[in-house]
Amino acid sequence: MDFIHFFFVSTLLFVIGVGGVILNRTNIVVVLMSLELALLSVSLNFIIFSACLGDLTGQIFAIFILVIAACESSIGLAIILVYFRVRGSIRIDQASLLKS
Amino acid sequence: MFFLKEYYPVLIFLGFSLALAGVIFGASFILAVSDADTEKLSSYECGFDPYEDARNAFDVRFYLVAILFLLFDIETIFLFPWSVSLSQLPSIGYWSMLDFLFELVVGFIYAWQIGSLDWE
Amino acid sequence: MKFALIFQNDTVAFLPELFLAISILVVLLHGSFLGVTAASLHSYLTPSMVRLTSGTLFLSLLLVINNPVESQTLWNAIFIADYLSTWAKFIIFIGLLFCVSVSESYMFSARFRAYEFFVFILGIALSLCLLISSYDLLSIYLSMEFLSLIFYVLAAWKKNSYFSAEAGLKYFILGSVASIFFLFGSSLIYFSLGTTNLASLALLTENLSVSSAFIYFGLVCIVSALLFKLGAAPYHMWIADVYEGAPTLVSLIFALVPKVAFFVVVLRIAFTSFWSLFPTLWEDFFCICGLLSLFIGCLCGLGETKIKRILAFSSVGHVGFLCLGLASGSIEGIQAVLFYLVFYMLTAAFLWVYVLHLDLTSNSSLLTFADAIGLVRSNPFLGFGVVLMIFSLAGIPPFGGFFAKLNIFIGLVDSSFFIVAIFAVLTSVISAFYYIRLIKIFYFEKNNNWFFFAPLTKGASIVLVLSGLIIIFFMLSPNLFYLLSYKVGLGLFF
């Protein structure tokens, strides 16, 4: 089994996820989705390495990452809700009130 | 019949499910009192009008219910590996999980008290 | 009950954390049940919450000091209890007690009627204790996420303020990206070395002759994520916006307590686990981060007119000094870092309590220099105290900040980083300019409006007096801090 191919897939997913956060110009919910994609790719990474090494630590790490990802997305949605209630839109370009 | 000997459990399962579905449906069909008016006969869509425009303002109460469901579903995720491996753990394994469930019950009581579970 | 024998020692060593966890549940239930009757009686829940929270923090402090466990790994080697963890938890609890004592009057004046804030403070205490005791990449990540999730909610606390919502959103997005990089780095370390435990990593990399690219890239990701949470450059972008947009009490908490815990984690990773990578990786990495932080701290601070942003950029500069102390790589470096952390926390406590006092008396939403004018006329003692604190921040003797910076420079020069030390001195001089400009505004500017005089509250005075006395009269009795930092530094090495 050539584990390096699986590693390329998950790294590609990670790069797409982080790129989605950085290169996004319009929608905040798209940022949240990209964050979830990146977390999922790291979780996949841990499971691949756990299968490659025969160690159980990676799978335990992956379960904890799943749980934290769920909690983080719920808090993120709550913050987006508060922001939307105050500002009236979810465009990121307009989030520049705090610039000096 | 001897070719399909291993599929006997599937046949029993099929029979049980047909019987159960028949009992439940038949009992409500025969025994229930039907007092129909327009409100009860209309189609149901979470309290909305079903043939309206799909672009309504989103009600925040649905979001709250979804988030509470997500958190307790995550708790259930932790229950699965624990229940499978419980026979090989000492008694501290049992009490750790009960402690975790207790903490989530405290969170549930908090959500109940501040009124997140009320619909209105 | 046989299970009591397996984890008995671990439970005894973890009594502060267990007490904090149970008290979070109790305080949460107490607040929710009482909140129902309080709303119907039109009474006010914050004083009882303040007393509960400060009582809990004080009892946890006593539990931490009287811990019978000396120096061993706990809970299947995921956590550790040693001198560094005991004294770092002590500092954290002192900082949080400062925050709680200041919060009562602030919440009354700013009309925050939410008691969950105090449950959050207890949650911050628990997560910081767990972070300080962590000895495995998994427990570091879980504690860090616990802390960060609470901070995201706190930054967006004011529900009808544009700035608070935007600060919370920015902090959430950037902080989550940092946590994901931490995870990616730890997955690479796990792949290349087969374990996530810091002690096993120390044994595996002890005589490392050949390192793969995975280890370097993974370590850079992990420490970059930790430095992001501290606010070091080149990851400093969020600090100014979040410190300014969040409610001032929350900025106080951000500025005081997390830095100690994150530096403890960085110390454990750089000095315990990957000590053999020092000449190849850590020296250059921490030198670059430190110099960039100093540079950006002094340059960006020069152009700012808003007080909270100035304090945010000065904290970036101080994190730069701490990174340089780490870069020197000797025991003197560790001692200098621990010493500087304590003094930075006390000075930041004084200055942020002063900013809190300003925030209550000004009627604009963003504090600028115009609000700071005339401090010496409305409250001469406070003005003099703030002046002495600013001298300490700028590194002017004989106050505590000078000795902290002196220790860092001694560590740098001992490890032969001469050019770095000279550059640090030059940026320190340039950043002293915007500190002294604040003093000029207090003493010599004329105001066009009426002064608004508000007396200092009791909680604020306790914090100001304690931190002010320790820093201003430091030279009279410096032994305690030096001895403690030496003991803790040696405990990390042996």
Output the domain CATH number for residue A19: 1.10.287.3510
Query: C294-315: per-residue pLDDT in tens?
Result: 999 888 888 888 888 889 999 9
* Chain B hits for A81, Cβ within 8 Å: 60, 63
Q: Check if B92 contacts C (Cβ < 8 Å).
A: yes
* Chain B hits for A66, Cβ within 8 Å: 74, 77
Residues A42 and C184: beta-carbon distance below 8 Å: yes
- Determine the Cα–Cα distance for residues C185 and C224; give it in Å rounded to an integer: 9
Number of domains making up chain A: 1
Residue A14 lies in a domain: yes
What value does the mean pLDDT take over residues C362-386?
A: 76
Q: Which domain holds residue B103?
A: 62-119
- Determine the Cα–Cα distance for residues C111 and A93; give it in Å rounded to an integer: 32
**Residue among A55, A76, A86 whose CB faces C194 most closely:** A55
Q: Check if A22 contacts B (Cβ < 8 Å).
A: no
Residue A100 has pLDDT above 70, yes or no: no
Residue C5 has pLDDT above 80, yes or no: no
**C114 three-class SS:** coil
Q: Where are the domains of chain C?
A: 2-491
Residue of chain C nearest A18, judged by CA positions: C177
Selected residue of A43, A74, A75, A96 to mutate for chain C interface (largest C Cβ count, 10 A) = A75
Do B67 and A70 make contact, defined as CB atoms within 8 angstroms?
Answer: no
**Residue among A42, A85, A98 whose CB faces C241 most closely:** A98
Which stretches of A2-93 are DSSP H helices?
A: 3-22, 28-53, 57-87
Question: What is the DSSP track for C169-186?
Answer: HHHHHHHHHHHHHHHHHH
Confidence of residue C18 (pLDDT cuts 50, 70, 90): very high
Quick one: angle between helices C116-132 and C137-155, nearest 10? 160
Selected residue of A43, A61, A96 to mutate for chain C interface (largest C Cβ count, 10 A) = A61
Selected residue of C183, C188, C192, C307 to mutate for chain A interface (largest A Cβ count, 10 A) = C183
Residues C262 and C226: beta-carbon distance below 8 Å: yes
The proportion of chain C whose per-residue pLDDT surpasses 90, expressed as a percent, equals 44
Do A45 and C184 make contact, defined as CB atoms within 8 angstroms?
Answer: yes
Query: A52-67: per-residue pLDDT in tens?
Result: 999 898 999 999 999 9
pLDDT value for B49: 67
Residue A98 lies in a domain: no
Give the contacts of C86 (CB within 8 A, at least 6 positions apart). C64, C65, C67
Each of the 120 residues of chain B gets a pLDDT tens digit; together they read: 678 888 889 999 999 999 999 999 999 999 888 888 877 777 777 666 666 666 666 777 888 889 999 999 999 999 999 999 999 988 888 998 999 999 999 999 999 988 888 875
Query: C57-90: per-residue pLDDT in tens?
Result: 999 999 998 888 778 888 888 999 988 999 999 9
Q: How far is the alpha carbon of B39 from chain C, nearest alpha carbon, in Å?
A: 37
Query: C136-151: per-residue pLDDT in tens?
Result: 999 999 999 999 999 9
Q: Which of B8-12, C31-35, C404-408 has the weakest average pLDDT? A: C31-35
Q: Check if B90 contacts C (Cβ < 8 Å).
A: yes
ipTM of the complex: 0.95
What value does the mean pLDDT take over residues C274-286?
A: 85
Residue A98 has pLDDT above 70, yes or no: no
Q: Tell me what the pLDDT averaged over chain C comes to.
A: 87
- Determine the Cα–Cα distance for residues B26 and C140; give it in Å rounded to an integer: 58
- For chain A, the chains sharing at least 3 beta-carbon pairs closer than 8 angstroms are B, C
Number of domains making up chain B: 1
Residue A93 lies in a domain: no
**Residue among A66, A78, A81 whose CB faces B77 most closely:** A66
pLDDT value for C344: 93
**C136 three-class SS:** strand
Residue A11 lies in a domain: yes
Q: Check if A60 contacts B (Cβ < 8 Å).
A: no
pLDDT value for C68: 83
Residue A36 has pLDDT above 90, yes or no: yes
pLDDT value for C11: 85
Q: How far is the alpha carbon of B120 from chain C, nearest alpha carbon, in Å?
A: 17
The proportion of chain C whose per-residue pLDDT surpasses 70, expressed as a percent, equals 94
- Determine the Cα–Cα distance for residues C360 and C249; give it in Å rounded to an integer: 11
Q: Check if C114 contacts A (Cβ < 8 Å).
A: no
pLDDT value for C371: 73
| Phi and psi, residue C136, nearest 5° | -145, 145
Query: C148-168: per-residue pLDDT in tens?
Result: 999 999 998 887 788 888 899
**Residue among B60, B63, B74 whose CB faces A70 most closely:** B74
pTM over 0.95: no
Do C145 and A38 make contact, defined as CB atoms within 8 angstroms?
Answer: no
* Chain C hits for B92, Cβ within 8 Å: 3, 6-7
What value does the mean pLDDT take over residues C15-38?
A: 88
pLDDT value for C451: 65
Report the candidate in C488, C25, C15, C4 with the shortest Cα–Cα distance to residue C264. C488
- Determine the Cα–Cα distance for residues C71 and C82; give it in Å rounded to an integer: 4
* Chain A hits for B67, Cβ within 8 Å: 74, 77-78
pLDDT value for C38: 65
Residue C266 has pLDDT above 90, yes or no: yes
Confidence of residue C437 (pLDDT cuts 50, 70, 90): confident
Q: Which domain holds residue A15?
A: 3-87
Q: Which residues pair with C306 in a beta bridge?
A: C368
Residue A74 has pLDDT above 90, yes or no: yes
Residue B101 lies in a domain: yes
- Determine the Cα–Cα distance for residues C387 and A74; give it in Å rounded to an integer: 44
Question: What is the DSSP track for C37-89?
Answer: HHHHHT---HHHHHHHHHHHHHHHHHHHHT----SEEETTTTEEESHHHHHHH
Do C25 and B103 make contact, defined as CB atoms within 8 angstroms?
Answer: yes
- Determine the Cα–Cα distance for residues C228 and C235; give it in Å rounded to an integer: 5
Give the contacts of C217 (CB within 8 A, at least 6 positions apart). C185, C188
Q: Check if A77 contacts B (Cβ < 8 Å).
A: yes
Residue A92 lies in a domain: no
Residue C264 has pLDDT above 60, yes or no: yes
Do A74 and B81 make contact, defined as CB atoms within 8 angstroms?
Answer: no
* Chain C hits for A18, Cβ within 8 Å: 177, 180
**Residue among A63, A74, A77 whose CB faces B71 most closely:** A74
Confidence of residue A46 (pLDDT cuts 50, 70, 90): very high
Do C145 and A86 make contact, defined as CB atoms within 8 angstroms?
Answer: no
Residue B66 lies in a domain: yes
pLDDT value for C49: 86
Do C32 and B91 make contact, defined as CB atoms within 8 angstroms?
Answer: no
pLDDT value for A1: 63
- CA C286-C259-C71 angle, to 5 degrees, is 90
Q: Check if C487 contacts A (Cβ < 8 Å).
A: no
